């Protein structure tokens, strides 16, 4: 399902917020006051569910990987602020701004590879 939304999650947040605002304005003329309230509360509940889940997931992920990277940093935003994000270009910018981040990943991958080799050797014995 995630592949179906690939382009949706690469849109610049400012344009995404603007499109949501415009959609809200369009719905105002099509719905009664009570219908607007019901639809609005439904959207709020969907949003709160997503925000709550992602908040707790972010805490877990930050405990695992650490808080070393911020895609919303001034460095990233000043270098790259398009309508649609090119994820490959963003990754290159991140490597440029946070070079130690990739070396940490490489170190962990090497350690895991060594551990897997040792486990295979132990299993052979």
Q: Please write the tens of the pLDDT for every residue from 103-113.
A: 777 778 888 88
11 vs 28, more confident = 28
C-alpha span between 33 and 57 (Å, rounded)? 36
The phi and psi torsions of 122 (rounded to 5 degrees) equal -65, -40
Q: What is the mean pLDDT of residues 80-99?
A: 69
What pLDDT score does 99 carry? 67
Mean pLDDT of the chain, nearest integer: 79
Q: Answer whether 27's CB lies under 8 Å from 43's CB.
A: no
For the question of whether the overall pTM of this predicted structure is more than 0.95, the answer is no
What pLDDT score does 16 carry? 83
Residues above pLDDT 90, as percent of the chain:
24
């Amino acid at each position: 399902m995630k592949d179906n939304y690939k382009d949706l999650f690469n849109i610049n947040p400012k344009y995404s917020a603007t499109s949501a605002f415009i959609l809200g304005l369009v719905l105002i003329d099509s719905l009664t006051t009570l219908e607007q309230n019901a639809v609005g509360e439904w959207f709020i509940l969907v949003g709160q569910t997503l925000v709550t889940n992602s908040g707790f997931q972010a805490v877990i992920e930050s405990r695992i990987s650490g808080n070393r990277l911020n895609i919303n940093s001034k460095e990233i935003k000043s270098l790259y602020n398009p309508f649609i994000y090119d994820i490959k270009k963003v990754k290159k910018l991140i490597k440029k701004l946070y070079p130690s981040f990739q070396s940490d990943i490489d170190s962990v991958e090497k350690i895991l590879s060594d551990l897997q080799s040792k486990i295979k050797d132990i299993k052979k014995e």
